[in-house]
Amino acid sequence: MKVLVTVLPKPSVLDPQGAAAAEAIRHLGLTGVGRVRIGKVIELELPDSTPDAEIHRIAKDLLSNPVIEDYSISK
Amino acid sequence: MKFAVIRFPGSNCDQDCVLTLNNLPGASAEFVWHKDTSLAGFDAIVIPGGFSYGDYLRCGAIARFSPIMQTVKSFAASGGTVLGICNGFQILCESGLLPGALVRNKGLHFVCKHQTIRVESTNSRFTRAATNGQVLNIPIAHGEGCYFADDATLAALNANDQILVRYCDAQGQTTDTSNPNGSRENIAGICNETRNIFGLMPHPERACDPALGSTEGLMIFDSLLKC
């Protein structure tokens, strides 16, 4: 199966890339843009039998850093 | 004092560290490959700067899983001296040996320049040769050096006197304009609670020879060698 892990900076962490992108969106002429956060998406190919706990372990211990990032998992 | 300088694929300040240490009276240094598992015979470990594993995923995130890091952890747990410089600091944070994390510089740019830092505490084996409040001119060179920790962690760092150096101006004032990367509370380097692990973004090994424009990084190595 394919699993997507989305990693985003925590709301409390400064995200200068997101702020720069928000500013650029304003330059596109779009007003009303709120906060923009930039993270990453990781696609994993895993055996169908992989338990959720293992996927969470990969996401928490390697793919994200819980000090600065949150993650979500979608299959 | 015999130093091990750990080499990861992508380390690029390893030679500077070994050269600097070997030039100091009373110190010697050897490279240790990241796939090795022994640190027998070494008195202190340096995790040097660079771009271990190409900074893939996050700076220091993959290096943390190198075989040598298990040995570094047990060395540190038994009170051994560990110094992480730049990428070495990032690796120590990713490994959980130091609290917090280093994220993209607030200004988004890679910053490479001489920077003044202020010694906040001389109560450590890394800073005992300094005077409190001493200002040191030491180069920085990083794109992800913005120190982040949550409020509770920051409070604990302050309460335990773990913040050893902060970015400051030439007069020693810690202002927003003297903060090169947006680090919380101008933090440039911290130690762990037991004060045997020190990580900092500035490069003291690049400030130990008059030819390089500053010898003020010697303070950290002199501290380590001062028994």
pLDDT, average across residues A11-35: 93
Q: How far apart are CA A31 and CA B97, in angstroms?
A: 44
Q: How many residues does chain B have?
A: 227
Mark yes or no for CB contact B103/A14 under 8 Å. Answer: yes
For CA atoms B182, B184, B190, B192, the dihedral sign is negative
Catalytic-labelled residue, pool B120, B144, B205, B216 = B205
For B34-50, what is each residue's pLDDT tens digit?
999 999 999 999 999 99
Shortest distance between the Cα of A30 and any Cα of chain B, in A, equals 23
Categorize the per-residue pLDDT at B227 as very low, low, confident or very high, splitting at 50, 70 and 90.
low
pLDDT reading at A47 higher than 70: yes
Q: Which CATH class is domain A2-74?
A: alpha beta
Q: Are A63 and B57 within 8 A, CB to CB?
A: yes
Contact (CB<8Å) B103/A17:
no
Chain A: residue whose CA lies nearest to B63: A62
* Predicted ipTM of the assembly: 0.88
Give yes or no for residue B120 having a pLDDT over 90. Answer: yes
Question: Is B205 a known active-site residue?
Answer: yes
pLDDT band at B142 (very low <50, low <70, confident <90, very high): very high
Amino acid at site B79:
G
Q: Which of B108, B148, B182 sits opposite A68 (nearest CB)?
A: B148
Count A/B contacts: CB-CB distance under 8 Å.
Answer: 37
Show the domain range for B57: 2-225
**Per the CB < 8 Å rule, is B57 touching A13?**
no
Is residue B21 scored above 90 in pLDDT? Answer: yes
Among B13, B17, B86, B191, the active-site one is B86
pLDDT attached to residue B172: 97
CB contact under 8 Å between A16 and B94, yes or no, is no
Per-residue pLDDT at B199: 98
CA-to-CA distance for B117 and B204, rounded, in angstroms? 11
Closest of B179, B193, B71 to residue B124, by C-alpha: B193
Q: Could you give the CA distance from residue B113 to residue B36 in angstroms, rounded to a whole number?
A: 34
Q: Is B86 a catalytic residue?
A: yes
What CATH number is associated with residue B144?
Answer: 3.40.50.880
Token couple for B185: 């509370």
Check if A32 contacts B (Cβ < 8 Å).
no
* pLDDT band with cut points at 50, 70 and 90 for residue B107: very high
A63 touches chain B (CB under 8 A): yes
SS3 call for A6: strand
Question: Three-state secondary structure along chain B?
Answer: CEEEEEECCCECCHHHHHHHHHCCCCCEEEEEECCCCCCCCCCEEEECCECHHHHCCCCCCCHHHCHHHHHHHHHHHCCCEEEEECHHHHHHHHCCCCCCEEECCCCCCCEEEEEEEEECCCCCCCCCCCCCCCEEEEEEEECCCEEECCHHHHHHHHHCCCEEEEEECCCCCCCCCCCCCCCHHHEEEEECCCCCEEEECCCHHHCCEHHHCECCCHHHHHHHHCC
Tokens of B167: 């970015």
CA B169/CA B155 separation, integer angstroms: 24
- Give contacts of B105 with chain A, Cβ < 8 Å: 16
The catalytic residue among B146, B203, B208, B216 is B203
Three-class DSSP category at A2: strand
**Residue B112 falls in the annotated catalytic set:** no
Q: What percent of chain A has pLDDT over 70?
A: 100
For residue B135, the Cα-to-chain-centroid distance in whole angstroms is: 17
Q: How confident is the model over B192-215, as pLDDT tens digits?
A: 999 999 999 999 999 999 999 999
Q: In this complex, which of B94, B100, B106 lies closest to A16 when CB atoms are compared?
A: B106
pLDDT at B18: 98
Q: How many independent structural domains does chain B possess?
A: 1
Query: pLDDT tens, B24-83?
Result: 999 999 999 999 999 999 999 999 999 999 999 999 999 999 999 999 999 999 999 999
